[in-house]
Structure 1
Amino acid sequence: MGKNNKKKSNIIPAETYLRLPPLADASLADQPIIDTHTHLVSTFSTYRSKYKNGTLYTIHDFVREMYHNRNVRAIVDVWCEAPVLMAWKELADSALTAEDREQKWGRYRLLAFTRVHDAKSYNDAVEASILEAMAHPRCVGWGEMGLDYHYDNSPRAIQQEVFIRQLNHAVRLGKPLTIHTREAEADTERILMEHVPADHKIHIHCFTDSPDFAQRLLQHFCNLYIGITGVITYSTNLNTSNIVSQMAMSDGGPRILLETDAPFMVPSNLYNSIPEIKGSRLPLCHTAMIPWVAEYTAGKAGHPWSGADIMKRANENAKTVYGVQ
């Protein structure tokens, strides 16, 4: 799960709609946006491929324009390329100083990144490059790593071997974990409990598996948080809504992080705010769509949670896990 299975129109809305309408809820607009999982290079590449005559020519242009007046405070930029690309360092270096962040990123305040590689391509050289990235001052965690038994792009035994190898390094370095797990509940749970201390910081990215699985992880790991993306808005996915409802009823409230996983999974409730493009679909997601994810999540959390409450709680959790604020 993770893609909307509804039949989509081939009509791509004009580029201007990517800039998004104003938020109807002023309290949502007042909350800073922290996107704890986005793929910036892939998002910009998708933009350029879908809008051949697009007006934005660099990643910095894209970020400044799409985030303009959107109160974006921070993103965690996730790298998943294999073989390893060195573009991460260029972007990370471009956010080292306050002056660079102001001039090159506009309202963008923090570039941080995590990395993952297709298990069958993983080797000592790949690992060495990740370890180099882990030492960069803008790096906030290791991932996304984990198991995917839905696509099975690599043999499961190799997936598990690489997962354990990366976990051991990340725990040794004290790096928060960004975990991708899909249809691999038993093995993911077993490996995490065998190799990760119960108080380690963990982000289960784009959660779509069973609520019971989530509850077992939440009970065992005191610093584990569930990542919520636009997939929560899809009718094909009930699991994410159910675990949000369960967490909201717990004493501590929802242990969630908000993320986009851009360029994927545009939140479907966004289209209620853009009725003029009814029947077509935006070709990519981006960080400024987070408030729509929060708004829908609040509806599943129920009273007394508002969209602004969800964003505030998620931002507090992002500070706990990744140190971003």
Structure 2
Amino acid sequence: MGKNNKKKFQVPDESHLLLPAHPSSTSGQTTPIVDTHTHLVSTFSVYQGKYREGKHASIFEFVKSMYNRPGSHRVEAIVDVCCEAPVQRVWKELADSALTPDGREKDWGGIEYWFVMGAHEAKVYTDDVEKDILEAMTHPRCVGWGEIGLDYHYDNSPRKIQQDVFRRQLRHAVRLGKPLTIHTREAEEDTERILKEEVPRDHRIHIHCYTDSPELAQRLLDHFPNLYIGITGVITCSTNLNTSAVIRNFTSSPSSAMRILLETDAPFMVPSNLYPSLPTLKGKLPLCHTAMIPWTAEFVSGVAGIGWDTEKVMRVGRENARAVYGV
């Protein structure tokens, strides 16, 4: 087939984003979803780009429609991640809308909206960006500083600058007592060294979307008793063996707690085991969203093995979200 005759990717109808109930929800005793890491502004932007004539004109409409489907796991809380620099002022509109129970009911359909903020891209971190983040830290719906960290895969910023900005933000978060949301990719030695140098052992830490070695995960877990490993749909990818190895390490000892957090990293990381639940779908979904978490939990339970099922993983993830972020 010539290059001019290539089959164009067809975006599936947006009705496929309205997910069916996960099989585990039929038990009647379902654990509510807490998504500990989602990018709502980015997710809605992708939705608008893919569905220019889409049904939802605002983030609020999108969330209320997509996240709580009758008969499915209820979405109880989301932790929105604001990590762009310069800081997007929309953060305050979203956070302010969730200040009161009436506001959360009207705008979020009863979902508890929380957020964290940091600067992910080190080369654009400035005093003004830091000032905006420090302002956000005082908001009642802010539950952490992040995502921040080192990424030697893309190397979008020089590594020395990445390390300096990482330390600078860690020091602020520690001073304020804010939980940390950490991004690390292919930077194991420096991430471990800097965390151990800058962060007290008992600080609450979320290593987001973990894909690095199980050995690094174990060293961090051993050193920081309040550190948890974030699990996204990327665990379902056949090329990713590390994340499943971390789960198996948790279950290798009967006395080990499953120190994981369930997250989406939406709009990225659609769990691949979701697709059998969408038999009429042709192709792939163009974005991920919070209601997909039960499929990630299902995959985790399969890796964990005997004694684990989707609901148990969901319960553990929910308890751990409360331990780390207080949500």
C-alpha displacement at 1:31, in angstroms?
1.1
Mapped to 1, the partners of 2:170 and 2:251 lie a distance apart of: 29
* Structure 1 segments of 4+ aligned residues over 3 angstroms from their partners: none
The answer for the alignment partner of 2:4 in structure 1 is: none
Q: Which amino acid aligns with 1:24?
A: P
Q: Is the 8 A contact 2:17 2:66 kept in 1?
A: yes
Provide the residue aligned with 2:267 in structure 1.
263
- Corresponding residue number in structure 2 for 1:253: 257
Contact 2:302 2:309 survives alignment (8 Å): yes
Q: Residue 304 of structure 1 aligns with which residue?
A: 307
Cα pair 1:27 1:308 within 8 Å, conserved: no
Segment of structure 1 superposing worse, 151-160 or 244-253? 244-253
| Residue 56 of structure 2 corresponds to residue 56 of structure 1 | yes
- Pair 1:71–1:294, CA change in 2 (3 A): same
Structure 2 residue aligned with 1:15:
14
Q: Where does 1:1-325 land on structure 2 (aligned, <5 Å)?
A: 10-25=9-24, 26-27=26-27, 30-69=30-69, 70-250=73-253, 251-278=255-282, 280-324=283-327
Give the root-mean-square deviation of aligned CA atoms.
1.4
SS in 2 for 1:291: helix
Structure 2, unaligned runs of 5 or more: 1-6
Structure 1 residue 199: Cα displacement: 0.7
Deviation at 1:110, TM superposition (A): 2.6
The offset of 1:9, in angstroms, is: 8.0
Could you tell me how far apart the structure 2 residues matched to 1:29 and 1:212 are? 36
Q: Counterpart of 1:55 in structure 2: which amino acid?
A: K
In 2, Cα distance between equivalents of 1:307 and 1:170: 33
CA distance in 2, matches of 1:110, 1:120: 29
Question: C-alpha offsets along residues 87-111 of structure 1, whole Å, 9 cap, x if unaligned?
Answer: 1011000100000000111131233
Shift of 1:253: 2.7
Give yes or no for contact 1:11–1:281 (8 Å, CA) kept in 2.
no
1-structure distance, mates of 2:8, 2:261: 31
Shift of 1:80: 1.9
Post-superposition offset of 1:12? 1.6
Q: CA deviation at 1:117?
A: 3.6
Question: Which letter maps to 1:265?
Answer: M
Tell me the secondary structure at the aligned position of residue 154 of structure 1: coil
Asked if 1 retains the 8 angstrom alpha-carbon contact of 2:43 and 2:289, the reply is yes
SS of 1:75's partner is strand
Q: What's the % identity of the aligned pairs? A: 64
**Distance (whole Å) between structure 1 residues aligned to residue 29 and residue 191 of structure 2:** 37
TM-score normalized by structure 1? 0.95
Task: Return the alpha-carbon distance in structure 1 between the equivalents of residues 27 and 77 of structure 2.
Answer: 19
CA distance in 2, matches of 1:312, 1:22: 17
Matched letter for residue 39 of structure 1: H
- Asked if the contact 1:226–1:256 (Cα under 8 Å) also holds between the matched residues in 2, the reply is yes
Distance 1:210 1:93 in 2: 39
Map Cα deviations across residues 37-77 of structure 1 (whole Å, 9 max, x no partner): 00000000100000111010000000000012340000000
Aligned position for 1:3: none
CA displacement at 1:114 relative to structure 2: 2.6
CA distance in 2 between counterparts of 1:28 and 1:160 reads 48
Matched residue type, 1:14: D
Counterparts of 2:321 and 2:124, CA distance in 1: 30
In 2, the alpha carbon distance for the partners of 1:243 and 1:111 equals: 27
Report the alpha carbon displacement of residue 123 of structure 1 after superposing the two structures with TM.
1.1
Amino acid at match of 2:260: I
Q: Normalization by structure 2: what TM-score?
A: 0.94
